[in-house]
Structure formats: structure tokens, C-alpha cells
Amino acid sequence: NAGVTQTPKFQVLKTGQSMTLQCAQDMNHNSMYWYRQDPGMGLRLIYYSASEGTTDKGEVPNGYNVSRLNKREFSLRLESAAPSQTSVYFCASRQGSMNTEAFFGQGTRLTVV
Amino acid sequence: AQKITQTQPGMFVQEKEAVTLDCTYDTSDQSYGLFWYKQPSSGEMIFLIYQGSYDEQNATEGRYSLNFQKARKSANLVISASQLGDSAMYFCAMRGSSGGSNYKLTFGKGTLLTVNP
């Protein structure tokens, strides 16, 4: 029972490099999310996908792009990484109805030097 | 717009005592949901409890209960009989019901709970 799987778990990038964070869920959930967690800031929503084929900006979308590849997969791309994007990134999914909780991946610790 | 406020950056409690973690929220939606998550030092996010805005009773899940005061827009988490394993960061979150807030889960900044032996 994998739940939400994120890859990679750790990554170090140089400023200006690009990379894609992968996320896949096996719970047949409609909605998927990308958050970043920084000390003292809680979890801030970067992008979300309410259902397959749709994506929307969250609180902090600048510098990121996303793709909802299919119902299972939701990727986050950093086109030109900056030190300000050093963070822990979480992918989450949920069924979409009012009272269902979100299930989270294990997180990706990204450092941009 | 939705907003969650957790005013306690850190809390301390003695083992076996109860502790209340505060959460206030702001929304213009009539229907909404409130969630609490636990994040231990290992980093994973663990769902604890849910309260719907129209639920007549406060939610309970084992040692966790939610003190929901709708008029005050507060949804405080109460942990009874604290254990050392309760030491973690705790996040309050909410989901609205209008437009995009129907899907977005907005988090507070969290409260770091330390349980002392």
C-alpha cells in the first residue's frame, strides 16, 4: 500500500539548474497538491490540481510549473533553480469531498547552492 | 480568502497531562472543514482529526479531541494524557467550499509541542 510516492527524497542543485520532482498516488484520488515547507512558515501551497486535466496556482507559484500527467501523477518543475527555492517539498492527494483528509508523500529535501 | 492562525510557536507539557493547541481561522464560506496534522521529527505528515463546520458535536479520535467554537472561529486541538511520542509539530488546516477554496487545503504555521518526562 504505497499511498503517495515522491522522488527524489534528497537533491542538491546549483543555481540556474532545472529539475522535476515526481509524485504518484495509487489511491485513485482526484485532487493533488504541491506544498513547500520552510522553518516558521508552515506549509504553503505552490500549485494544485483539482482533477485530472486541471491545474491552478496556490500561494507561492512563482518559479514553478506543474503537470498533471494523468490521474496518478503530478509533477513539479523548477526551470531555473534559485537559493530561495531551498525547501522541503511535499506532494499530497485527496479524494476531493469536503471531509476527506489529504495524504502526504515523504517529502523531498531540496538544496539550491 | 482563507487564513489559519496558530499563535503558539512552541508549547511544553508534562507527560500524562493534557494540552491544548490553539487554532483560529478566517473564512467567508458557510461550509468548511478543519483538519489537524502531526509532523514528528522524521518529517512525515500524519492526519489526526477532522471537524466539519456543520458538525454538531466536537470531533474526537482516541486521545485527540477538537474544541470547536464556531462563533469564535476557533478549532483548538486537545491532547489528553500526553505521551513522549506526542512531541512533534502540529498543524491546523482548513478547506473552504467556494470556488478554488473548495479544493485548497490551507495550513497554519504550526506549533511545536514538547512533552517532558
**Best of B36, B41, B95 to mutate (most A CBs within 10 Å, chain A):** B95
Answer whether A50 sits within 8 Å of B103, measured CB to CB: yes
- Each residue's pLDDT, cut to its tens digit, for chain A (113 residues) gives 679 999 999 999 999 999 999 999 999 999 999 999 999 899 999 999 988 999 999 999 999 999 998 999 999 999 999 999 999 999 999 987 667 899 999 999 999 99
A39 to A16, B39, B89: CA distances (angstroms): 23, 13, 11
3-state SS, residue B84 = helix
Closest-CA residue in chain A for B10?
A40
For chain B, the maximum distance between any two Cα atoms, rounded to a whole number of angstroms, is 47
Answer whether B43 sits within 8 Å of A107, measured CB to CB: yes
Of the candidates A73, A74, A48, the one whose C-alpha atom is nearest the C-alpha of residue B105 is A48
Q: What is the pLDDT of residues B63-88, one digit of tens each?
A: 999 999 999 999 999 999 999 999 99
Chain B partners within 8 Å of A92 (Cβ): 45, 105
Answer whether B50 sits within 8 Å of A45, measured CB to CB: no
Which region, left, alpha or beta, applies to residue A2 given φ > 0 means left and ψ of -120 to 50 means alpha? alpha
Which of A56, A102, A106 shows the shortest C-beta gap to B105? A102
**Which pLDDT value is given to residue A1?**
65
Q: Does B35 touch chain A (CB under 8 A)?
A: yes
Of the candidates B64, B87, B75, the one whose C-alpha atom is nearest the C-alpha of residue B22 is B75
In angstroms, the CA B91 to CA B40 distance is 11
Answer whether A92 sits within 8 Å of B33, measured CB to CB: no
pLDDT at B100 over 80: no
Q: Does A35 touch chain B (CB under 8 A)?
A: yes
pLDDT at B99 over 80: no
**Which pLDDT value is given to residue B101?**
66
Which of B33, B95, B104 shows the shortest C-beta gap to A58? B104
Number of CB pairs < 8 Å for A and B? 57
Q: Pick the residue with more confidence: B5 or B105?
A: B5
Q: Does B106 touch chain A (CB under 8 A)?
A: yes
CA B72 remoteness from chain centre? 15
Chain A partners within 8 Å of B50 (Cβ): 99, 101
Location of C-alpha cell 497554519: B108
All 3 cell numbers of residue B7?
Answer: 499563535
Closest-CA residue in chain A for B48?
A101
**Which pLDDT value is given to residue B103?**
78
